[in-house]
Amino acid sequence: MESTIRLGLIGIYVAHALLAFVLLIALKRKLKAPDYGVAVAALSFGLFLPFLAELAVYAVYRLAERFGRSGLIEDYDDYIDFKVVNYEQIRHEASTSSHLLPLNDAINSKDPAIRKHSILTHVNQSIDHQGKYLQMGLESTDSETVHYAAATMNILIDQYEQELKLAKREYDLGNPDTIRRLATIYKRMIHSELITEVMLKDKRGAWLEELLKAKTLYPPSPWIYEDLNEIYLTLERPKEQLNILKEYVHHFPERIEAHLMLINYYYERERWNEVKAVMFMMQTQFSLEDVPYEYRLLFEEWSDTTSWKNEL
């Protein structure tokens, strides 16, 4: 008798599960997303308590509709209806991505003409990590691709060297533009990944030297602080990096980039109190709308949003 009851209950459970699966498929096209979500929830609970759970969820849903929805249901609706609104930012980030996946695919293409074209375009384009992609060409099994990659690398290195010679010839400590031009060439060479490790160390030292000259001789300028932040980060000199970022914020409190760089510094070291302190300092200077999207969630969660400039 007990085994018969047990089998009967199992049969009811299996029949309910099959019915729930069929209903979900049938309702998929007929219900709007929020209502379909309620159906999914009801049938999911029903797997633990067949039929009774569906009735309970349906009753709660109807009561919520009649007397006002709960925050949970409203949050669910917001989640269902969420859409990415910043398409322009996504498009821009994709077009400036340093990973350059289309170029990666082109260099590894089976068509020699495509490989040749993708390599030769490096001559006339300013692309970070050029050396990494040209190295792919050097490792190709196609001899012509290897030839074009090697020739292009030599051309680019020669171009950088010629730029350096010209910049040094025009170099004038009384003219800040000439210092910036030379520092920028060193920076581009480092980012290109075309030079050897020995040359890389030498160019980093030269870049840092020019930046410190500019910082000493001329009034504060954002590009100096941003480049110094980058090179101190690369050289793993956190004390100098922190001092530079504090100076940047001090001299340019109106630049949100300075504050965000300081937040990044503290965040990476899990110095949460300092992160919140910088956010608090920003509240009278900026609105939440000024904060880039990639930081927005952090600011909304960790700061008092009611005291921000746009909320006053």
Reported as a single tens digit per residue, the pLDDT across 185-215 is 999 888 888 878 888 899 999 999 999 999 9
Q: How confident is the model at residue 278 (pLDDT cuts 50, 70, 90)?
A: very high
Which pLDDT score, from 0 to 100, does residue 54 have? 62
> Per-residue pLDDT averaged across 119-138, rounded?
63
Which pLDDT score, from 0 to 100, does residue 98 have? 39
Reported as a single tens digit per residue, the pLDDT across 43-85 is 666 566 666 656 665 665 566 555 554 455 555 455 445 444 4
Which pLDDT score, from 0 to 100, does residue 139 have? 73
Reported as a single tens digit per residue, the pLDDT across 225-275 is 999 999 999 999 999 999 999 999 999 999 999 999 999 999 999 898 999
- DSSP for the chain? -HHHHHHHHHHHHHHHHHHHHHHHHHHHTTS-HHHHHHHHHHHHHHTTSTTHHHHHHHHHHHHHHHH---HHHHHHHHHHH-----HHHHHHHHHT-TT-HHHHHHHT-S-HHHHHHHHHGGGTS--TTHHHHHHHHHT-S-HHHHHHHHHHHHHHHHHHHHHHHHHHHT--TT-HHHHHHHHHHHHHHHHHT-S-HHHHHHHHHHHHHHHHHHHHHS---HHHHHHHHHHHHHTT-HHHHHHHHHHHHHH-TT-HHHHHHHHHHHHHTT-HHHHHHHHHHHTTT--GGGS-HHHHHHHHHHS-GGGSGGG-
Reported as a single tens digit per residue, the pLDDT across 140-154 is 777 777 777 777 778
